[in-house]
Structures are given as structure tokens and as C-alpha cells.
Structure 1
Amino acid sequence: MTQLAHTIQGSIVALVTPMHKDGKVDWKNLKKLVEWHVQQGTNAIVAVGTTGEPSTLTMEEHAQVIKEIIQIVDGRIPVIAGTGANSTHEAIELTKEAQELGADAVLTVTPYYNKPTQEGLYQHFKAIAEASKLPIILYNVPSRTGVDMKNETVFRLADVANIIAIKDATGDLTRGKALIDGLNGKISVLSGDDGTAAELIGLGAKGNISVTANVAPQLMSQMCEAALAGNHTVASQINQKIANLNNILFCESNPIPVKWALHEMEMIEEGIRLPLTPLAEEFRTPIREALKETGII
């Protein structure tokens, strides 16, 4: 495992891309969010992951958001660029671009919609890794992509030199433990499911790539720190405090709820791009109450 793999751990925010009400990227609030995360103890930032709305950004905007975050962070914490695509060629091009922009690593999701076989998944990620010098973090989120990368495929990919970790967003702790045990330290496992992150870290995962960290960065950082230190009582207490938030932030498709929550916190404007729409009225009070009970507002 590379040295960087040891530094990419703890609370890793899957950062939203703030937008004005007219849908244009809000560069001023992007800077504000990044500075806030560094101050609040977030350990690393994912730029333009799922929560950052890559599917609605232009290629130019995609690159510019990554570039801006890297410049604002200025080496204080790692920046991981989202470079997933359902075309291997496109994923390679995005990864090369992230390397040129100065990203510390990339997060690349299983190809969605076209449903490759396990061999196709292996060849896809192997090709990306071989085309770049950047550390690669695999990303498996079958509920979102419609394709599930089996543990056995991850074990094969762990032998590829610059693949350093996997974000496991299955939420299946039994499977997660089998993944951690089977990898035997070859690469890191990072949770991609806020509700089960503390437990997965207790089983040997190295951190959490988080949606909830967008609104509760300090609490998520403290929870991950406690879990990594083996202080499971403290980790469990914090986890209970944010449990309702973890749940309600997925009442509609991510990032609809978390962007509305950040707007309610007066951190960003309410901009979001079609086909995503602003949060339905029925969910606004529950999210507001969850923010209040967690002490965020």
C-alpha cells in the first residue's frame, strides 16, 4: 500500500457543487465550503463525485471545479477527483485531466447503465490504472449504477499497482467484512454509506466518503477519528447523534436533500440542475428538524 493510501482516511467529504438559482456554478460559495471543511477537520475532499453532480456539469465545468478546489486547498488535505464514466475511454481522459490539474487521487465509479460483466469491470479499471500515474480509488455503488462489482473482482484489482482503495457503498456489513478480510491490507476499504460507516471502520475500513459530512463535517470527522482509534463508545455516541441526519439526507436522490440542507444552513444558494429538482416541500420540515436536533442550526 502506498504512503498516500495511509493519508486518505478518516472523514472524506463528497462535496456538493454549489450553484446559483439560475444553475450557474457558484465559485464564491465553493471557496467558502472548502475553507470551512479544512477548518472543521475534514480529512480529504472528493471533487465532483456523485454528490458534486458530474452528470449535469459540462466537461469544462467538471475540470474547473476540480482545479478550483485544488487551488483553494493548496496542499492542506488530499483532493480526490471524481473521474467515473460508463465509457472506459472517457474515464481514462478524465483521469489524465485530473492528473494534469494536480489531483492527489481519483475516485472512479463502476460503469453505469451498460452493465458490464465482472471481466469487463476488471478490464475497465485495469485500463484506467495503467493509463495514469495517479492513485485510483474504485467505487462500487450498485443501488445507483445498476452494476455490482463482486468482492472477487476487487481482489483481482488489488494487485494492480496504483489502485489503492475501494469505496464500498453497498451498506452490507457482512459483505464489507469479507471484503476487508479478503484484501488483507493490500488496498484500503472506505465506507460509502454514512449509516454503517462507524461499524465498517470498526471492522477494519479506513474512513468514510460521506454525504453527511457536507452538513456535519466536525461531527463526522470526530466519529471517524474515534472509530479509527478503536474508541467505539465515542464513535457510537456520535453516530447515534447523526443517525437521523444520515437517513433523512437520502429522502430523495442525492444530492437534492443535502443541497437543500446546506441552503437552509445559509451556506449555499438553492441552485440545482435538471433533471434534478429542488427538494419536495414534504421533506423540508423533517430535514430542518434533523439539522436542529443535531445542533447544526
Structure 2
Amino acid sequence: MKKNAHGIIPVMLTPFTADNRIDWEGLERLVEWYIQSGADALFAVCQSSEMQKLCLNERIALSRKVVSLAGGRLPVIASGHIGESFADQRTELMAMADTGIDALVLVTNRLDIGGNGTEAFRRGLAAVLSWVPNDMALGLYECPAPYRRLLTDEEFEICRDTGRFVTLKDVSCDLGTVKRRVALAGDSGFAVVNANAAIAAAAMREGSKGFAGVFTNIYPDLYAWLYRHAADDSDFRRELETFLALAAMAEPLGYPGLAKVYHTRLGTFSSTHSRIIDYDIAERHWAVLDLLDHIHTGAARFRERIAKCAQRS
């Protein structure tokens, strides 16, 4: 049951056509781009995928298609866990578990919908474990929507001790919490994967098994290099670490629309349409497209320097 669900894990976008349908051709190009850019696994049907705006049939079809496009070249994990009732959750999770994914990712705030604490979380988890196949690997995601529900240490241990969990997308945004969770995970195979860009490299040095933040949709290859070299005592590593942290501050400026603009420039998508961002990001966020130009140029320069280093070695 144990699956590789760590490393650089892009939180996948869902491309849409201008008339609001899933752009399957764009999705195919996107999957290839992730793979060629050094992704270790793909996280489909997550918040970046706009899962709260996808109907169940779309979530199922999206998960199946990503599995098919990946073709076994790397693991695919998926969530789509958005139901307000246990009945709805049972339907969606059983359906998602049957799409061929390598791990089914549970959203922590759905296991405790009312924010009632550990006992409610325990009951929610027990319900899910009674539904999904016993050989289905599981993940956890501290998704910020509709509210960020962080795990307590006790809850982390409860999940670890089931032997079912292979990955946590950590959204604590706190280095001390990441370090503590890594220690709690030990050699259990429960990988803690940080999702906050400001602490990305530091978290790697403390044992975070990769990165799963939103800017894996802009330069997963740079995060892949950083993951391999996070402990390097070099000016180049420090410069890249700072660039990635600062560039990610653009996230509030219309993401995921911002990333979709980027991919239309690359030719991955033909449309920037988003069900979440229903406005023109250039009108609301002044000079955001100029900022995107700077991010693109900066990333290209770091790639050039990495390539030169590789040639010398």
C-alpha cells in the first residue's frame, strides 16, 4: 500500500475553455509540463484545481484523466473532498478512490466540519476509514478553504498509527510545527510535505520531504533543484531560496488566475478562464502582469545558472 507521495508535488491547475468547460487538451499539455519540469508526484483535484467549483462528475473525470495522462510515470494523488455531510463525503471519496489514484487525500476541515476538536476529528476519520478500501493509501491536506484546520500533535499521531497515511500537505506555515511533525512521523512512512514558500528551504533542511506550494505551477524545476541542494552552503542556494520566497508573495494577486496567465504565455492553455477568479487580475491588481514578467525573467536566469553549473560538473 505504501506509495511515493513526496518530493516536488505540483498542486494542479484545472484549465478551462473560455466557455467554462474543462480543457482536456490543455490538461494533457500541463501534465507533460509538470513531468518535464521535475515533478515527483501530481496532486490533482485540490484547491488549486478549483475543486470547490467542480461538480462530482468533473472531479471524477479530472482524476481519471490525470492518472491516464501520467501513465505510471509518477504517482498521482487526489482529493475532491468537499462534502458538507458524511453522506456526501462517502459518495465522493468512494468515487475518487476508484479513479486509479495512488493515494486519496482527505481534507482536515471535512473530518471536523464544525471545528469541534479532536473527538470530532477522530469520529470523522473513523467514518472515512470504514468506507474506503483497506488497501487505499491515504493523505491529509490542511486545505485553507472553507477554513484552515490544522492537526494537533495527537491527531497527527492518530493518523500515523493507522498505518494508512503516506503524506501530509502541511499548511501550518510554521517551521517549528514542521520540525515537530517530522519527528513525530519518524520512520513510519508518513511524509510531511511543507506548502509554504517562505519556509520552503528551511523546512527541507528540517526534514520536509519536498514542497507542495502553489508556485509549483510556475517553476517546479527550481524547487526540484532546491530540494536536492537545500543544505548546500553556497551563495547561489541562498539567492535562489530568497528569490523563491519573495516571488511567491504574488500569490494573493489573483491566483490561480495568475498561474493561468503564465500558462497561456507558455502555450499550455488557450484560456485564462477561472471559476474562482471571476475578474480581470490586471485591473484589480495593478502592475501584476509586469510582476509576472519579472518572476519569469528571474526564473530563467536561475535556470541558466543551474545549467552552467551542471556543465562544469
* TM-score, scaled relative to structure 1: 0.88
User: For residues 237-267 of structure 1, what are the alpha-carbon distances to aligned partners after superposition, in whole Å with 9 as ceiling and x for unaligned?
Assistant: 4322323322212334x42322233234332
Q: Which secondary structure does the structure 1 equivalent of 2:258 belong to?
A: helix
Q: 1:142 to 1:61 in 2, by over 3 A?
A: closer
Query: What residue ranges of structure 2 are gaps of 5+ in the alignment?
Result: 304-313
- Matched pairs, number: 291
Displacement after TM superposition at 1:207 (Å): 1.4
Query: SS where residue 50 of structure 1 aligns?
Result: coil
Q: Name the residue aligned to 2:161.
A: 159
Tell me whether 1:213 sits opposite 2:216 in the alignment.
yes
Check whether the contact 2:59–2:80 (CA below 8 A) recurs between aligned residues: no
**Bigger Rg, structure 1 or 2:** 2
CA RMSD of aligned residues (A): 2.4
Equivalent in the alignment of 2:34: 37
Alpha-carbon distance change, 274 to 168 in structure 1, aligned in 2, over 3 angstroms = closer
Paired residue type of 1:219: L
Aligned ranges 1:65-214 → 2 under 5 Å = 65-85=62-82, 86-111=84-109, 114-132=114-132, 133-142=135-144, 145-186=147-188, 187-214=190-217
Structure 1 residues 97 and 72, CA, compared in 2 at 3 Å: closer, same or farther?
same
> Post-superposition shift, 1:143?
7.5
1:242 matched to which residue of 2? 244
Distance 1:15 1:92 in 2: 23
Do residues 286 (structure 1) and 301 (structure 2) align? Answer: no
Give per-residue Cα distances to partners, 1:221-250, cap 9 Å, x unaligned: 2222323xx446465443223233222123
Greater CA drift, 284-293 or 71-80:
284-293
SS across alignment from 1:101: coil
8 A Cα contact 1:136 1:164, kept in partner: yes
Could you say which residue in structure 2 is the equivalent of 1:295? 300
Report the AA paired with residue 203 of structure 2: L
% identical aligned pairs = 21
Question: What TM-score results when the alignment is normalised by the length of structure 2?
Answer: 0.84
Unpaired runs of 5+ residues, structure 1, are none
Change (3 A) 1:108 1:3: closer
**Equivalent in the alignment of 1:47:** 44
How far is 1:161 from its partner?
2.5
**After the TM superposition, which of the residue ranges 12-21 and 142-151 deviates more from structure 2?**
142-151
Partners of 2:146 and 2:203 lie apart in 1 by 20
Counterpart amino acid of residue 193 in structure 1? N
Q: CA deviation at 1:153?
A: 1.3
In the TM superposition, what is the alpha-carbon distance from 1:276 to its structure 2 partner? 4.2
